[in-house]
Amino acid sequence: MKRLLSAIFVLFFCLLSSVANIRLLSFNIAHGKRQGAEGYEEWINTISDVIKGEKADIVFLQEVPIELVKTSDPLFKKARKNNILDDFSKLLGSGWCYFSTADYMIRRSVERDGESYIYGDMNQNNAILYNSQKVLGKDLADRLGFTKFDGKYLFDKNNVQAVEFRVSGNEGEKFVAINIHAPFNNLEHRNRDLAMLERLYASFKLKSGVVIAGDFNTARKELLGRNFDFVDGEDSFFSDRSFGLKTSISSKGDNITLANDYDHFIYSRKITIKKSMRRAFVNGKESTLDVYVIGNREFFNSTELKKKVSDHLPIVIEISL
């Protein structure tokens, strides 16, 4: 009997210790700066401070600036070396890697099967940074047809990412991370992209956990009516104690004014939430409407924050596998 109890205890302990907590951060870094531009060092160091301060393992970035070079293919122009993402990797430390959509974003408007697709530009690349000492990733772009325009899943700009992750050193359960930046000023195209996203989500969720993050340019209440299991929190309306879910920064510059709840985490029932979604802050000091704190930097109005960092605030959530 004692041996049986000991075996059960060991099994329970092994199962408990095999649970991995993964911290995810999503940030639309719009108005990003290019290498050599005024304020570049402050900009990239500020964003790196957020990632390091939140101890993120996987980072979903939208609107990452890239440089393009012309090729013989008029639809897909190749990106010059991803200098900004390389700089992020260096600042974050050993083991940090990335996947970028730069090589397969469409670069001119095109029509296929009666549908029109808009093109991306040098400021609309998506990227997923990840700490390979914690998780290992495999880009699913080829498998899903993202690198060819005749693939099964088509989105405006073709810059939606799907990456399969597993815990480093563990062959156990995997999950799929999807990074999206939905169209802003075209409701028809945005609804089509979200419908495509529902199909992509459904194709993975029965086999593995799925997390979607990014800038949806859509309020949470509109996503709740779609075929997703959870958006930001549980089925009930999610709000934090101070400001709700708003993450996009208003054009008003007298203080930090938030306008819309456009940045979200969607996740399937195979994902367990360890810490609820919130806006990111670091160094133990939570941001308020009076001051937004990133690392050792304080921003006191929307104009300064937008100019130096982004017109979005980063969001973070912690999951377990």
CATH code where residue 288 lies: 3.60.10.10
The pLDDT value given to residue 241: 41
User: Looking at the domain assignment, is residue 3 inside a domain?
Assistant: no
**pTM (2 decimals)?**
0.89
Which residues of the chain, if any, have pLDDT below 70?
Answer: 1-19, 69-81, 171, 234-244, 253, 282-289, 295
User: Looking at the domain assignment, is residue 94 inside a domain?
Assistant: yes
The pLDDT value given to residue 178: 98
Distances in whole angstroms, Cα of residue 25 to Cα of each of 143, 169, 205, 258, 314: 25, 22, 21, 19, 7
Burial of 164 (0-12, 13-18, 19+ CB in 10 A): middle
Predicted confidence (pLDDT) per residue in 92-113, tens digit: 999 999 999 987 888 788 888 8
User: Looking at the domain assignment, is residue 9 inside a domain?
Assistant: no
The pLDDT value given to residue 123: 78
The pLDDT value given to residue 35: 78
The pLDDT value given to residue 16: 43
Predicted confidence (pLDDT) per residue in 247-274, tens digit: 898 877 678 888 899 999 999 999 999 9
What is the Cα–Cα distance from 163 to 314, expressed in whole angstroms? Answer: 20
Number of domains in the chain: 1
The pLDDT value given to residue 18: 54
Pairing of strands 68-69, 272-279: unpaired
User: Looking at the domain assignment, is residue 15 inside a domain?
Assistant: no
Domain boundaries, position 59: 22-320
